Amino acid sequence: MGYLHILALCLLVPHFNAVELSGMYGSIQSPNFPDSYPRDSDISWNISVPDGFKIKLYFMHFDLEPSYLCEYDYVKIEAEQEQLARFCGREDTDTEQVPGEQAIVSPKSSLAITFKSDFSNEERFTGFEAHFTAIDVDECKERNDEELACDHYCHNYIGGYYCSCRFGYLLHSDNRTCRVECSDNIFIEQSGIITSSDFPNPYPKSSDCLYRIELEEGFIINLEFDDSFDIEDHPEVTCPYDYLKIKAGQNEFGPFCGDQSPGKIEMGSNRVQILFHSDNSGDNGGWKLTYSAVGTPCPVPKPPENGKIVPALDKYSFKDQVLITCDPGFRILKDDTEVDKFQIGCLKDGSWSNNVPICKIVDCKNAPDLQFGSVIYNSLSNLTTYRSTVHYSCQIPRYQMYPAINGTYICGEKGFWINDELGAKLPSCLPVCGTPQFSRTKVQRISNGNFVARGVSPWIAMLSKNGLPFCGGSLVGNKWIVTAAHCLHDPLDSENSVVRSSDLFTPGSFQIILGKHRTRSRDDTEQVFHYKTSILHPQYKANTLEFDVGLLELSEPAVLNNYIIPVCLPEEASQSDLQDGDMVLVSGWGKQFLRRLPESLMEIEIPIVSHEVCEQGYSKLNRRISEDMLCAGEKEGGKDACQGDSGGPMVTLNKNSGRWYLAGVVSWGDGCGANDRFGVYSNIMKSLQWIKNSTGVEHV
């Protein structure tokens, strides 16, 4: 600071006698002007105007003693320690100049003028008068020097100028250069391109650009600079002006500058910082780099036995995912659970997220049971695994497979037993109907009825109360009994047609006995059942006995054997089968001519009688034979169902199939066996659909 004071003082000394002039204009004159100037004059004027202005000086009058090279009297004009002009005389000669009309413009905002006269002024020269004004400097035009010129745009104003920048640039604090804001560049993609701003045009000055590549751990970044690389450098000093420095973890690269591309650089890190510094000058093209990331490699996993790995590559690295699948018939076993596919991923540390699981052969486990059938495993291996086989069969001869398929099932790849025709569905074992094991032999003919041998009518059911039969029924399927609706409820008033549920017999109030032969005593072949539900035909009328059909569902299926076999339900197409005169069989334990019960099951063979004939017989009694009824019997009477036979079967043989089917149910009649009083039966054809729907019975 002290030094500066001294320096300022020294500078002041030569100007000690100077006249200081400031302001925007003014004038100076030689002493005594317009009279002749005195001798030995030595006067100085220091003119200064504000910064951003120059001084224009012009002489209105000039009349000095001429001398060679203006040695004696002169006006000297200086600026910035440099002489701009030295004038003397009255007119220009080869060696001396006068200002004439010429105006002098200062290079900057100050001008020093000195007037000197020697010891004589004999001719009485009148001296000079000059005016000065401040004139504006158009810095934008004049500032051609690189150092001070505006980087982008220059705007002149009176007394100064300012710089501005193109869109996207900011004026640096030097008020001259245009920098860019470029420290927020973060790259998170696994590959990309980074360039200096405006590349390939010259990069901005006075900028510190930071580019950060930040990838997940497990990636390593590689940079590759383009060949076109141009950063301002210096022949002797390393990158003193502009430079590129790269930091990657602990590693540092650079500084880089000049026109030699750094080429390919492996960073060895997942985080990279690229710093690009530019100073306030230079016009260099910049740089461009492509970065890419490679993941930590993982070892090639070994596919499981009976399985594969997709995609199967010879190299895997961080983030790669592979899917492990098993061959058909095998499933992935992972932590004790079976899955179809399993994905593992390559981790940042170069290991896999999981071990490769094993492929376990599919096991169909035990084949499901088939009701009324059995399943036999491949006798050699007893295996239940993929491609093993089992064979289903039904309990022959009582049950038959439906649909009729080859009962072989194979353990499929999904773990289900599969049949060629049914897929994973099981067939059903349906009861075989209408095929008694015992056929009729000629038996003793007893008063209009026959005793039936055991097992000849194996579908007949005895409805028994207190050890006595009160109705009959017929087994359809293996757990349904078709009987007469009127067998299932208490008697009603004669006008009353509607059965209320309170009128119905309750389960447990009577027994249903199959395999029965003898009327009052036990049979070895009998199976005694209770029923779960009883259903009356919805159109049943208790007073007229229209639709006198009811159903009983046994509490459990009957065990079919030679003595217990269901009767067939008629096929729809056989509706017209029964014609007048066709013979049907009716059996039961009912009374013989209203007298007493027979020893054992009896049956009669009687013809079907037309509605007209039947109705004629009943016309006197005013009983209608409705469409749902069938009549059968012989005109002369005799063979007839009777009390206790109700609900029992009327059957007929289908000659084509050789099976017996249910044609009717014993319903009513006027007495028993009187002539013209035919037995009346519920026509099964009329309630067939209802029976099928209610019972779901299907049979073969």
Which range, of 35-43, 265-273, 346-354, 640-648, touches ligand 4AZ by CB under 6 A? 640-648
Which range, of 329-337, 490-498, 559-567, 639-647, touches ligand 4AZ by CB under 6 A? 639-647
Q: Does 542 bind ligand 4AZ (CB under 6 A)?
A: no
Kindly identify the residues of this chain, within the stretch 250-289, that bind ligand 4AZ according to CB under 6 A: none
Q: Does 469 bind ligand 4AZ (CB under 6 A)?
A: no
Residue-level length of the chain:
700
Dihedral-angle region of residue 696 (phi above 0 means left; psi in -120 to 50 means alpha; beta otherwise): left
Q: Does 643 bind ligand 4AZ (CB under 6 A)?
A: yes
Instruction: Among 106, 474, 646, 695, indicate the residue that binds ligand 4AZ (CB under 6 A).
Output: 646
Q: Is 582 helix (H, G, I), strand (E, B) or coil?
A: coil
Instruction: Among 232, 628, 634, 640, indicate the residue that binds ligand 4AZ (CB under 6 A).
Output: 640
Strand partners, 665: 649, 682
Rounded CA separation 361/370 (Å): 25
Q: How far is the CB of 633 from ligand 4AZ (least distance, A)?
A: 8
Active site (catalytic) residues: 486, 548, 646
Q: How far is the CB of 657 from ligand 4AZ (least distance, A)?
A: 29
Pairing of strands 74-79, 445-446: unpaired
Distance of CA 193 to the CA centre of its chain: 33
* Alpha-carbon torsion (481, 483, 486, 487), positive or negative: negative
For tokens 């099981």, the residue is: 426
Q: Does 642 bind ligand 4AZ (CB under 6 A)?
A: yes
Biggest alpha carbon–alpha carbon distance for the chain: 196
Q: How far is the CB of 635 from ligand 4AZ (least distance, A)?
A: 14
Closest residue to ligand 4AZ in the complex (CB): 669
For residue 693, give the DSSP letter: H
631, 679 contact by CB (below 8 A): yes
Q: How far is the CB of 447 from ligand 4AZ (least distance, A)?
A: 15
286 vs 647 by CB, closer to ligand 4AZ: 647
Which range, of 87-95, 389-397, 409-417, 637-645, touches ligand 4AZ by CB under 6 A? 637-645
Which range, of 453-461, 501-509, 567-575, 635-643, touches ligand 4AZ by CB under 6 A? 635-643
Interface with ligand 4AZ (CB under 6 A), residue total: 12
401 vs 487 by CB, closer to ligand 4AZ: 487
267 vs 631 by CB, closer to ligand 4AZ: 631
Rounded CA separation 3/191 (Å): 60
Rounded CA separation 324/329 (Å): 15
Rounded CA separation 332/604 (Å): 69
Q: Going by C-beta distance under 8 Å and a sequence separation of 6 or more, which residues neighbour residue 19?
A: 28, 43, 44, 45, 46
Pairing of strands 208-214, 185-187: parallel
Q: How far is the CB of 670 from ligand 4AZ (least distance, A)?
A: 7
523 vs 670 by CB, closer to ligand 4AZ: 670
Q: Does 433 bind ligand 4AZ (CB under 6 A)?
A: no
Q: Going by C-beta distance under 8 Å and a sequence separation of 6 or more, which residues neighbour residue 629?
A: 545, 546, 611, 667, 680, 681, 682, 683
Q: How far is the CB of 616 from ligand 4AZ (least distance, A)?
A: 16
Q: Pattern 653-692, binding to ligand 4AZ, x per CB under 6 A?
A: -------------x-xx--x------x-------------
Which range, of 148-156, 163-171, 218-226, 641-649, touches ligand 4AZ by CB under 6 A? 641-649
Rounded CA separation 255/594 (Å): 128
Q: How far is the CB of 521 from ligand 4AZ (least distance, A)?
A: 22
448 vs 574 by CB, closer to ligand 4AZ: 448
Q: Does 645 bind ligand 4AZ (CB under 6 A)?
A: yes
Q: Going by C-beta distance under 8 Å and a sequence separation of 6 or more, which residues neighbour residue 62?
A: 75, 87, 90, 98, 99, 100, 128
Q: Going by C-beta distance under 8 Å and a sequence separation of 6 or more, which residues neighbour residue 329?
A: 306, 361, 362, 386, 387, 413
Q: How far is the CB of 463 from ligand 4AZ (least distance, A)?
A: 11
Q: Pattern 581-620, binding to ligand 4AZ, x per CB under 6 A?
A: ----------------------------------------
Cα–Cα distances (Å) from 629 to 93, 260, 613, 683, in that order, read: 161, 114, 13, 5
- DSSP codes joined into one string, 315-327: -EETT-EEEEEE-
Based on its alpha-carbon atoms, the radius of gyration of the chain, rounded to whole angstroms, reads: 64
Applying CB under 6 A, the residues found at the interface with ligand 4AZ are 640-646, 666, 668-669, 672, 679
